[in-house]
Structure 1
Amino acid sequence: MESADLEALLTEAKESMEAARNYRTELQQRLLGLTQARRQIKDSAAQTRDTLKQHFLDVKGAVIKLLDERLQALIQEVDTIAQENIKPLDECQKLLEQGVSTAEDLLKDGEIALSCMAQEPENLCNFTNKAMHIQLDSLPEVPSLVEAPCLSAQLDDSFLSAARNHISKHCTVASRPPILIEELIERPGGILVRWCKVDDEFVAHDYRLQCRKNVASHFEDVYVGSESEFIVLHIDPNIDYQFRVCGRGDGRHEWSPWSVSQLGKTTLVPHEWCSGFEGYSLSSRRNIALRNDSVSHEVLYSKAATYSSGQTLTFRVESVGQLDKRDSIGVCVEPQFGYESLQRDKAVCISTSGAVFVNGKEMTNQLPPITPGSTITFDMEVVSLGTSNNNEGPIHKRRVTIGSNNREVVFDWMLEQTCDSLYFGCSFIHSGWKVLVF
């Protein structure tokens, strides 16, 4: 065999071995996924059994307690009725017993008077006088058996039928939760969580999203509402977080089973305002800026160029102050100190009145004025690379979308320099403005 043929065979053998290694790795990954799926079925089945057993044990205890309380209430009612109706009978019995005793005493006196009538006739006279003062013809009224109460219990045999009907429909078992997390998107200092329904019969009115930093900690609520996505902020970079979501129907109190938990993390550092700017105070995480005086009119910039194309930069205005045409919120290539607004070259911004500025020029299109709670978003992507008219250098064109109060403005931003990431900034002439960035 010639050396060239041997070399070709050797190359083919190496390629086959490499393909076999890749094939083995893929199969092992699938075996791992299969093992995880099997473990999820077994673990969720065991947890569901325990949940059902505990639930029915709790319900059984609660039902027994309610039945015991109802039984005691009914017995107490029987005792009360019996006592109230026996009391007049006791009084009547007392009168009758007193009358019997009086009659017996009178009979004894009469027998004595008759036995000694010849010797002591005055005793017979005394006896007749005594008998005249006793009303021997006056008898107390005694109720007949028809008039006396006769207690009974009215039993409700339909209770067991109704209980059997409710119990037969109480709780259900599903092969998977009605809601699942479909996407985890990293954001600077946060994670965008999106979820969706997988059970068409389940009608969700509210959703509940929970998060925890590690397995040892407890899940905590981060969102409850009607939206099917939420940005979880204050996420530490390069650390796994676990998320789960559930839902409930309109007018119901109980939540659905939790979705399968998903792990997510962000590699993007959080957006921060730069500290030390006169006229602004920052929150502890430096993602909220408050304009607290009107002495200095300088632009407040970000700590670093942390905004990149393909991402969404969001500002939420927590509170507002007096409007000024120089107010601005936006992004820029680099900080330029000495300016009192981002309405300048190498920057795009929106003013508090809704006007949009590109490289210092106001656009014809305008967004609604900013109000408390307004959310302003910046999205951009590099669409082309060309040359300037005087051939002095390349022109970088970015497609920019600014959104505010459910309206958008889309335009192309021309830059004569390349920059992978941008700074953001804001400027307010008057105090009272408070802005969160994420």
Structure 2
Amino acid sequence: MEDPDKSNINGGNTCGKFREEYRKHVQNQVSRDLADTLNMLNHHKGELAKLQDQLQQARLQVIQSAGETEENINSTFKSLLINVNRMITERHHQLLDEVKQVEVEALGPLDECGQLLSDRLKDCTNRLEQGNRLQQSTGTKAKESVIRFQEETSQLNRLPDVPELCAVPCVSVEFPSEPTLEESLQNLIQGAGKVSRIGPVQITHINERPGALLVAWEEVDEDVGDDSIEFCLQCSNTGAMNPETAKFHTVYKGPDFSFLLRNLQAGERYLLRAALRREGSSSWSTWSLPQYAQTSIPHYKWAKVDGWSVADDGRLATKSSADSDILLSHGPLLGPGSSVLFKVLGSGDSCSDEGIGLSCRPVKGTEQLLLPGVLFLNAQGSLVEESISKILKSHILASVKGLSFPSKQST
């Protein structure tokens, strides 16, 4: 029979052990919960720090852009004041010079006519004095003098030509009255410049493509409707980091809202920006916020095989033998939602087993070009898809500049 005291001791030990294990369990659980909470708080703190940095960048963008815009406004109007004052002064003196020229040209003949009249008047006065003296003379000698005087004065009956007032200049100047110069300048100056919270077009999506970037943009103000609108997309030099010093070059101009920027190096950073201009305008709008982008997907390139020479980092392939060799891409590069563009730079007389195409598996020989899973367009214009052939156009590869094969996600 078991000793009751010993049984009580064992029972107490067991309960104590359970309590200790429970205490440790609770303590461990509390420690884990506390650790999870601390991890969550640390993560939350990190996210808050990121948001704080983002907020600081936003504030910096507002402050810097406002400062740069103020500087632009100040420099523009300072230059405008100088140039307008110069142009007004030049025009002022030009008009005065024109008035002086008309005055001089008109007064020349009038001054000549005035001199002639003065001479005639002086001559006439002298004749009158001479005639008055003759009236006091008598005798035969006086008669001869009168006859001679009459003959000389008979030539004075012809008067010089003096122009009528309507035939001489009456100088004036005409300035616009409706609107006046001041009103025109006021309207022009009041319409000069437009402060925008953000550029009228912004890059909205940049999707990676093999060796390319699909860039899309939108107008910020959707209420401004204009069918005649042109967009401009510019790209920086490879590895550009500072939008202020980056050297941009135009990669697209046109009405589309997206553009596939090709021939990019995988892993390299590019800086993109967009602008627009409406019909009738010769200048582009404010540029969009610059966007950094890169593609991590290598470009389409050919594999190095016998019978073919490959150049331009795998983009260009040239047949180097007369053997029937199949040139494959470097790997399965075409994925859903992307496309590949083949450009045929030159071709000769071709056979039915020569052409370009797509295959979901490596092709070992020309006989496999007719198998399911292969899309093949031969040089003679036959398209083979899923073992079904149809004629598109004779010698199509020699007559087109490029063939694009798009792909989409199957449903």
Deviation digits for residues 294-318 of structure 1 (CA, Å, limit 9, x no counterpart)? 944432333x215154462411436
2:230 is the counterpart of 1:209: no
- In structure 2, C-alpha distance between the alignment counterparts of 1:356 and 1:220, rounded to whole Å: 41
Matched, 1:156 2:176: yes
* Higher fraction of strand: 1
Which structure is higher in helix share?
Answer: 2
What does 1:372-391 align with in structure 2 at a 5 Å threshold? 372-379=400-407
Task: Flag the 1:128–1:283 CA change in 2: closer, same or farther, 3 A.
Answer: farther
Indicate which of 275, 291, 300 corresponds to 1:271: 300
5 Å matches for 1:324-343?
Answer: 325-326=352-353, 327-331=355-359, 333-334=361-362, 336=364, 339-340=365-366, 343=369
Q: Secondary structure at the match of 2:325?
A: coil
* Structure 1 counterpart SS, 2:276: strand
Counterparts of 2:149 and 2:357 in 1: how far apart (Å)? 117
- CA separation in 2, counterparts of 1:354 and 1:256? 48
State whether residues 240 and 264 of structure 1, in contact with CA within 8 Å, keep that contact through their aligned partners in structure 2. Answer: yes
Question: Which residue of structure 2 aligns with residue 173 of structure 1?
Answer: 195
Local SS of the residue matching 2:289: coil
Match of 2:340 among 302, 307, 314: 314
Q: Distance in 2 between matches of 1:341 and 1:173?
A: 66
Cα–Cα, structure 1 residues 64 and 300, in superposed 2: closer, same or farther, change >3 Å?
farther
Task: In structure 2, give the amino acid aligned to 1:263.
Answer: Y
**What is the deviation of 1:107?**
6.9
Equivalent of 2:218 in 196, 215, 220? 196
Shift of 1:246: 1.1
Question: Within 2, Cα distance between the matches of 1:317 and 1:296?
Answer: 22
C-alpha displacement of 1:354:
5.9
**Which of 137, 141, 144 does residue 161 from structure 2 map onto?**
141
Residue 68 to residue 103, structure 1, CA distance change in 2 (3 Å): same
Q: Which residue of 1 aligns with 2:6?
A: none
2:328 is the alignment partner of 1:301? yes
Offset of 1:147 from its aligned partner?
5.6
Q: Distance in 2 between matches of 1:357 and 1:276?
A: 25
- 1:166 Cα offset (Å): 3.5
Q: How many residues align?
A: 373
Please give the per-residue CA displacement for 1:22-74, whole angstroms capped at 9, x wherever unaligned: 11011011101111111111122122223333444455455455545544554
State the structure with bigger RCO (CA 8 A, min sep 6), 1 or 2: 1
Q: Is the 8 A contact 1:189 1:269 kept in 2?
A: yes
Cα 1:300/1:108, change in 2 over 3 Å: farther
Q: TM-score, normalised by structure 2?
A: 0.75
| 2:77 maps to 1:38 | no
What are the superposed Cα offsets for residues 132-167 of structure 1, whole Å, 9 maximum, x if unpaired? 234233322334656643212223232322332333
Quickly say closer, same or farther: Cα 1:311–1:153, change in 2 above 3 A: closer
2:307 is aligned with 1:253: no
- Consecutive unaligned residues of structure 2, counting only runs of 5 or more, are 1-19
> What is the Cα-based RMSD across aligned positions, in Å?
3.8
Contact 2:201 2:276 in 1 (8 A): yes
CA distance in structure 2 between the aligned counterparts of 1:281 and 1:230, rounded to whole angstroms: 31
Give the alignment partner of residue 5 of structure 1, picking from 11, 22, 26. Answer: 26
| The structure with more radius of gyration | 2
The runs of 5 or more residues in structure 1 that have no matched partner are 382-398, 400-409, 411-438
Aligned-pair CA distance for 1:20:
0.9
